[in-house]
Structures are given as C-alpha cells and as structure tokens.
Structure 1
Amino acid sequence: MLQNERDIFNVLFEAVSEGVIVVDTRQKIILTNASAERMFGYDKSELVDKDLIVLIPQEHHATHGAHVEGFLKQKESRQMGRGRDLYGAHKNGTVFPVEAGLNPLQINGETFVMALVIDISIRKQQELQLQELNTKLEKKVFERTLELSNTVEALKAVNLDRDAEIKKRIEAQNKTKDALKKEKELNELKTKFLSLVSHEFKTPLSGILTSAMLLGKYKLSEQQDKRDKHIKTISDKVHYLNNILNDFLSIEKLETGKINYKFNTFKISKVVNEVVYNANMLLKEGQIINYPESIDDYSLYQDEKIVELALSNLVHNAIKYSSENTIVDIEIEQDDKFTSFVIKDNGIGIPINDQKRIFNRYFRAENALLTQGTGIGLNIVKSHLENLGGSISFKSEENKGSVFTIIIPNKAK
C-alpha cells in the first residue's frame, strides 16, 4: 500500500465513530482506533498485543473463547450476541452494554477478525426508563381496572336490590310464574335497549350535529342546494331515531299488555298513500315503488295505525336491503273475509340458515349486520298482527330478494 493510501486509511480508520478492534487468530489485539480506546479507557499502547479478553467482563471469560473460535470456522460477517446481552469491561473496572459486529479479514494469507463495537449505555438507560414508565402505566391500568371492578360490583349490588324489590312486589301482588318470566324479559329488554341506544343512536346523532354545524356556513342564496342537502340529512336521521323510539315503546306496551287497539273503518288507499309518501324520502338512486292497482274500493275495520306500521316496516326494509335501480312491488287483494298485502323486492334476501329466526326479537340476518337496524321491527309487526287475528309470512332467496305477505281480517273482532 502506498504511503498516501495508508495515510488516507489511517484517517478514515481513526474517524470511524464506532470502536474498531482487530485481532488475530490467537485473539491478540493488533490494532484499535481512537473510538475504541476512549470507549474502554485505554491508550493504544496498552491494548496492542494484549489478549482480547482484557476487554471482556470476568463473568463472560469462560464462554468467550468458544464463541470466537466458532466464528473463525464459519468466516462470515454477523452480529455478535444474538438473543443475549453483550457487555464490555472498562479499564476502571466498570461494565457497560455494547453491540458488536464481527467481520473476517484475509491479509497476506493471514486471518484476522475486525470487531465494530458500539456503546449502547444511553439506549439501555432509555429502555430502562421506558420499562419503568410501562410498569407505572400497568400499575395505573390495574388500579383503574380495580376501581371499575368495584364500581361494577356496586352496580351489581344495586341491581340485586332492585331485583329483590321487584320480586317482593310480584309476591305481594300474588303474580304467577308466567308474570315473573315476563318481568324478567322486560328487564332484559331494558338492558338491550341501553346497548342499542349507544350503537344505533350515536351515528345518526353525529350526522345531525355535523349537518347542523355545516348549515351555518352556507349563508348565500346560491348555496340553497347545499342547505337543502343537510336539512334532508337531519330530517332523515330524526325520522330514523323516531322510528327506533316508537319500536321500543311498542315492545314495552306489548310486553306489559298496556296496548289498546283503536278500531275504525278506513280506506286502504289512505294508508298506502301515507306509507309510500314517507318511503319516497328513503329511496336510493333509481329505486321505484310500484303502487298497487284497483284498491280504491278496499276498506278495513281495523286499527289503522297498526296496519300502517306493519306496511311501513316491510316497505322500508325492502328499500333498505335493496340496491340502487331496483323495484319494490306492493300488491293488495281483498275477499269477503281477509285482506292480503304482498311486498316484493330484489334485495339481498335472507340466508336459508337465518330464516327460521327472522321474527325473533333483536335478531339480524348474517348478511345484514353492517346495515343499520335494531332487529325488532318484524317482531313487533308479527306480535301486533297476531293480536289482531292476522299473520305474516315470507319467501326469500339470498341475493335474489324477498316476498313478505301480511293477511289480516277485514273486520276486527
């Protein structure tokens, strides 16, 4: 190597920020740079020709030789100490954590090993601090969890007291076992109601709030279309929330037997017009409702609001579970005793495995879980119709659509 090249090599060798230590096959140190000397606290003269083991902590002497010999046999670059911590021994006797990479060298037919050493004391301190912070955080989480657990236990105690009071009240009134079962189901309904409120109310309420805030930004007359858009969003969301509340009120009345049906004679076309008018506001792009033919002469002596509720539920479901550019058919027929309402759609249909549970309260078909809904509408409709001497049935095929049929007596008893 020319003198100029050697000078350049020495400058680069000394300028490397990592500690560089070169040893021969006898593990004798033959060369070090300034970074290594500062790291271990030695002068160059104190390290050259010394055993490498002088830089290894006493407790690691026994295994160090075998590791180096194994490396010399493989003769390939690698990170030293994988899976375990490495430490260096300072001249003053202190031990500090390091990272080391080993690289084999062949010079003039002789084998050497160059070790690149980094002092990672600061990193280890930071890791220790992070670990301490994690420990403190875990302790806080544990304490908060314990507090929450105590709160839950307190709530359980409150609920137990409430249940005991309910039971005493039932016993005092000499209720039957069936009445106790209905009270229990009502409590379960209230619990599920709280869960549904948090889920089903949050999204529409957020939409209402957002639209209300945006309305204030569109003050110019030419921005009326944007105002109309947000007003429609608010109207739709409020309508949806109102329907949910009505559903829960209906269930409570059905369960407690407090519902009073109001019978009167009315034109079926009046109910259909109201249902279609409200449904038109829910239609997706390209959706159409086919109005039933020849129903002007049809009348019923029934609870008008219940008939409208049942028909609205089926029409709204047909719209909700069908895609854009589809048709919803309403067909109505009447004979001397009964009137049938048939609602057809081309929507997602009901999976065969879910069809037997479709009228169960809170049940949602597997393919409808991502669509808004409480799973109680059909249950309410079925209960009302049976109370009025009617029935509801359906035929459905997944991805092809559904046909729901309501049959109700022309005259309530």
Structure 2
Amino acid sequence: MSDTRTLLIIDDCAEDRRIYRRYLLKDPHQSYQILEADSAKDALALCQKILCDVILLDFNLPDMTGLEILDHLTQQISDTNAPVIMLTGQGDEAVAVQAMKKGVQDYLVKQHLKPDVLQLAVRNVIQHSQLQSVLTKTKERQRLIIQQAELLAQTQAALINEQKLNAFKSQIIATVSYEYRTPLSSILTAASTLKQYGEKLDECKQQKFLQIIEHKARYMAKLVDDLLVFNQFELNKAQFKPQPLNLYHFFSGLIEEQQEKLSDSHHFVYEISGNYKGFWGDGRLLRQIFVNLMSNAIKFSPDGGSIQFHLIGGESQVIFDIKDEGIGIPIREQKNLFQPFCRGSNVDAIPGTGLGLAIAKICVELHGGDITLESQMGKGTRVIVTLPKRSSI
C-alpha cells in the first residue's frame, strides 16, 4: 500500500461526509488521513494550518458556494496546490464549466457516486497533481540548465577566442578564492569583535574595526567589478561612446578620489601642460584606465615615495604619464603584464587580481591609443598612455 494522503472533505451534510469517508477508507490502493469541515470558514482555517493532498468540495455550503471557496483558497492560501474535486447534488453543466475554469480537477454528481468512482477520481487527481509537480520541477530545472548552458556557452565562446579557456577558468576560481579569503577573514574577525566586545570598546577602536570592514568590503567589491568589466570585454560587449571631455575637470575629480588612498608617506605631484582641449573620449573607459593605473602606483608603493601624474596635450593627441617609486617589476615579466591575471613575482602579500593593466590596455585600444610600461626593480614603474584627440575607430 502506498503512503498515506491527507484528504479534506468540505460538506455541510454529515451523512454525505460519512459516505465519502467510508468509500475512501475501503480503497485497496491508497490510504488516507481524512479531515472534515462543515463550513467554508472552518475549511479555510484548516487549509491554512494543514497542507492537504486533495480536497472534496461540496458546491453548496451554508456560508458560501464552492466556487467562492475556490477563490478564497487561491487568494488567501497562495501556496496551496491541493487538487480539488467538486461535488454537487445535481448535474449542472454550466457549474461544471465554471468550476473547471477555476482550476477544479474533477466534477462529480452525488446521486451517481459509487465507491469505485470516488476512489478512482481521488487517485487520479492525486496522480495528476504529482505528475504536474514533477513536470513543473523538471521544466524549472530545464530552464535553469538552459540559462546556465547559455551563460557557459557565452563565456566559453569568449575564452575560446583567446585559446585559454581552461587556464582562464582555473585562474578565475583561484584568484577569487585567494583574494576573497584574506579580506573576508578580516571582515568576519572585525564584525565578530564588534558583536562580542563592542560595548567594552571605546569609540576610537570601534571606528577602527568599522574602517577595516569598510576597506575590505570595498576591495572585494572592486574585485567583482574588475571581473565583470573584464568579462564584458571578453564577450565583446564593451561599447566606445566618445564625447567632448574637459580633461582638466575630469582628471581633477578623479585625482581627488585617489588622493584619499594616499598615506602620509606618499608625495603626490599633478602637472598639466600643452593643449589638452578638444579631446573626445569615453569617460567611462577613461576612468577605468586612470583608476587602475593610479591604484597600482599607490598600491605598489607600500613604503611611500613620489607619485607623479603628468597630463600633456598636443595638437592631435594627449599623453598621460604616471610614475611611482615603488617596488618595480622584474624585467623578464614586464612583457606579460598586460595579460589577464598576470602579476609580478615580487608583489608578495600586496592584494590584487592581475586584471588592472589588462583592463587599462583594452580601454586604451578602444580609444585607438597606445600604452607602454617601463620599470626597474626597487626603483618604481612608469606607464605612458597616448590617446588621439579624435579616435578614428
């Protein structure tokens, strides 16, 4: 015998309920736990408390019709999927049509009801409900599989173009896993300390822990942003939308943002010369270039020193030159630094994804420009970006 099903009989006639109960308990193929309600109010209250597998519903009840109960079941108990069999004392085709439109699974006339008819009807709607549930879950799984397959296909197509699919996927996983572990650990430690000892810490220490959380969260958000941006480039979804830009105002605002990241040991120099007017560029892409290069200059100068940014304007092009006095880059590794996930072997514990220069290079190329790098170990790095004032791309 199969597992027990919960069945609710909604009928104001005690004799009818007794008959249905007797018929169903004699079913050799299915066992039931049978609940009863003699009014719509009691029935709806039961449905809110107990999940039923099937409902036998009388069309005529003292407080409302079966069709009205169906509406309440749909509106008030949104998570119920119990199939409903409508029962009526007389056959009425119009009522049957209305009931079916509202989702009733079957419609039976009481005076023609026999044990085997009721037993079969209930078993059928239970089986139909099971099949419908399986079908719904299967369709949902298929939809998710299709979505995942489409996303995977897009990613694979982009990576195959670079002929680095497997290495690229492995590097993404390794980078995210590694780069998230340390800041996440710091966030959890700071949050746990504040939770357990917050009331005992003075305001200065509380602020210190909050700053740790904020700083590490910003770093993790930047990591996600870099991955999303680079993925857009890999899928060829990046668009170049040039417009007139006032470079003085543009870079002044960005430099103000970056200066907040400088330590007391850094000395920042900002110089503008030449004719920088008449430049057309994509501000969103230009920001990616500048922020990544400036962030690198600050990050890879952990002991401070001078960071210089020069904007030089010419008749047909502009150059911006960023120079730091940081750790530098080994000569043998410099030719690969514009490749994704490539980092110098001397970065030690300095966090990063190895995507900054790759993103900057793509943004420069979208402008029709050029980017070059020169560096010496222990003496710093210089990056020069040359952009045409009016791109021909």
Task: Give the direction of change, closer, same or farther, for the CA distance of 1:269–1:211 in structure 2 (3 Å limit).
Answer: farther
User: Amino acid of the residue matched to residue 255 of structure 1?
Assistant: E
The question of whether the paired residues in 2 share the 8 Å contact of 1:268 and 1:296 is answered with no
Q: Which residue of 2 aligns with 1:280?
A: 259
* 1:383 correspondence with 2:362: yes
Distance across 2 between alignment mates of 1:333 and 1:314: 17
User: Amino acid of the residue matched to residue 370 of structure 1?
Assistant: A
* 1:412 correspondence with 2:391: yes
Q: Which residue of 1 aligns with 2:240?
A: 261
1:207 positional shift: 1.4
* 1:318 correspondence with 2:297: yes
Q: Which residue of 2 aligns with 1:270?
A: 249
SS in 2 for 1:360: coil
1:406 positional shift: 0.7
Q: Which residue of 1 aligns with 2:203?
A: 224
The question of whether the paired residues in 2 share the 8 Å contact of 1:211 and 1:234 is answered with yes
SS in 2 for 1:367: coil
Distance across 2 between alignment mates of 1:309 and 1:387: 12
Q: Note the 1:122-137 alignment, pairs <5 A.
A: none
Q: Which residue of 1 aligns with 2:334?
A: 355
1:402 positional shift: 1.1
Task: Give the direction of change, closer, same or farther, for the CA distance of 1:224–1:343 in structure 2 (3 Å limit).
Answer: same
* 1:400 correspondence with 2:379: yes
SS in 1 for 2:296: helix
1:296 positional shift: 10
Structure 1 residues without counterparts, runs of 5 or longer: 1-160, 171-177
Q: Deviations over 1:369-411 (max 9, x none)?
A: 4321111111111112112201110121111111110111122
Task: Give the direction of change, closer, same or farther, for the CA distance of 1:236–1:408 in structure 2 (3 Å limit).
Answer: same
Q: Which residue of 1 aligns with 2:314?
A: 335
Distance across 1 between alignment mates of 2:159 and 2:330: 35
1:249 positional shift: 1.1
**TM-score, reference length from structure 1:** 0.53
Distance across 1 between alignment mates of 2:376 and 2:162: 37
Distance across 1 between alignment mates of 2:328 and 2:230: 25
- Aligned-residue CA RMSD in angstroms? 3.1
Match of 1:250 among 229, 233, 243: 229
Q: Note the 1:151-300 alignment, pairs <5 A.
A: 181-182=160-161, 185=164, 188-216=167-195, 217-219=197-199, 223-293=202-272, 298=277, 300=279
User: Amino acid of the residue matched to residue 257 of structure 1?
Assistant: N
1:284 positional shift: 3.1
Distance across 2 between alignment mates of 1:224 and 1:294: 46
1:201 positional shift: 0.8
Distance across 2 between alignment mates of 1:219 and 1:277: 36
Distance across 2 between alignment mates of 1:202 and 1:186: 24
**TM-score, reference length from structure 2:** 0.55
Task: Give the direction of change, closer, same or farther, for the CA distance of 1:183–1:410 in structure 2 (3 Å limit).
Answer: closer
Distance across 2 between alignment mates of 1:356 and 1:330: 23
Task: Give the direction of change, closer, same or farther, for the CA distance of 1:387–1:297 in structure 2 (3 Å limit).
Answer: closer
